[in-house]
Amino acid sequence: MSLIRLDKVSRRYQMGTETIHALREVTFGIARGEYVAIMGPSGSGKSTLMNLIGCLDTATSGAYVLNGVNVSEMDDNQLAEVRNKEIGFVFQTFNLLPRATALHNVELPLIYAGMPTEERRRIAIETMTNVGLADRMSHKPNEMSGGQRQRVAIARALVNRPSILLADEPTGNLDTKTGEEIMALFEELSSQGNTIIVVTHEEDIARHARRIVRIRDGLIASDEPARR
């Protein structure tokens, strides 16, 4: 059974009098444990697709079933709950809270899940240790390198044990070497059974995935296994 099932999903935006078709009846699925890259040039609709999969946005028409639950009809608060439990985001610009320590950033999803303090702290520390940041707990984002920040972001994405790790250009703001390290970490996470979706426009990054979905003009142009 698919973890993600999109059925004729469309997303239209109204820009003044003009209607923009960001996605046109896209249908595809992702199984649990897959490592998928979504590729496409800017304006292709890949960001829209990512926002839909990440439950940040809802489709204009069509159905989206995540983990057996139809999320296309959900309201704001239900979507927030789904994002908290099912989705782990990793952004190109890291998107850490600048005033909070690394540990607090990682704890945040657990706070919103209502987990008691001690358990929350234990899990956050454990997760940070797993991404190799055991000695950076009390640092603030501006005291860390780009690679370390992205690791914090990955720890934050993983801390709630989500169904999907959703990464948007995760190496876009990193140098090549650090980018490779982050991709190696994704590799490792994938081998541990995590479902990973990476949105990128870089072939080098997409090649790390097992499957590549290419988007063009709001449609799926190709969907094939990655050549490695």
**In whole angstroms, how close is the CB of 124 to other proteins at the nearest point?**
13
Site residues (vs other proteins, CB under 8 A): 51, 54, 56-57, 76-77, 80-81, 83-85, 89, 91, 95-97, 99-100, 108-109, 111-117, 120, 156, 160
**18 vs 75 by CB, closer to other proteins:** 75
Q: In the complex with other proteins, which residue's Cβ is closer, 78 or 191?
A: 78
Nearest distance from C-beta of residue 222 to other proteins, angstroms: 26
Please, which residue, 101 or 130, has the CB nearer to other proteins? 101
Distance of CA 3 to CAs 64, 65, 86, 195, Å? 11, 8, 11, 9
Dist CA 205 CA 162 (whole Å):
22
What residue ranges in the chain does DSSP mark as E strands? Answer: 2-15, 18-31, 35-39, 61-66, 69-70, 87-90, 164-168, 195-200, 211-216, 219-225
Sheet holding 195-200, edge to edge: 87-90, 164-168, 195-200, 35-39, 211-216, 219-225
Judged by beta carbon, residue 96 or residue 183, the one nearer other proteins is: 96
CA 146 to chain centre: 18
Type of residue at 192: Q
The residue (of 97 and 134) whose beta carbon lies closer to other proteins is 97
The least distance separating other proteins from the CB of residue 74, rounded to whole angstroms, comes to 12
As measured in angstroms, the least distance from the Cβ of 62 to other proteins is: 18
23 forms beta bridges with 11
What percent of the residues of the chain are helix, what percent strand, and what percent coil, each to the nearest 5?
35, 30, 35
Shortest spacing between CB 12 and other proteins, in angstroms? 14
Report yes or no: 88 and 165 within 8 Å, Cβ to Cβ: yes
Query: Looking at beta carbons only, is 12 or 207 nearer to other proteins?
Result: 12
Q: How far is the CB of 22 from other proteins (least distance, A)?
A: 11
Contacts of 194 (CB under 8 A, 6+ apart): 33, 158, 165
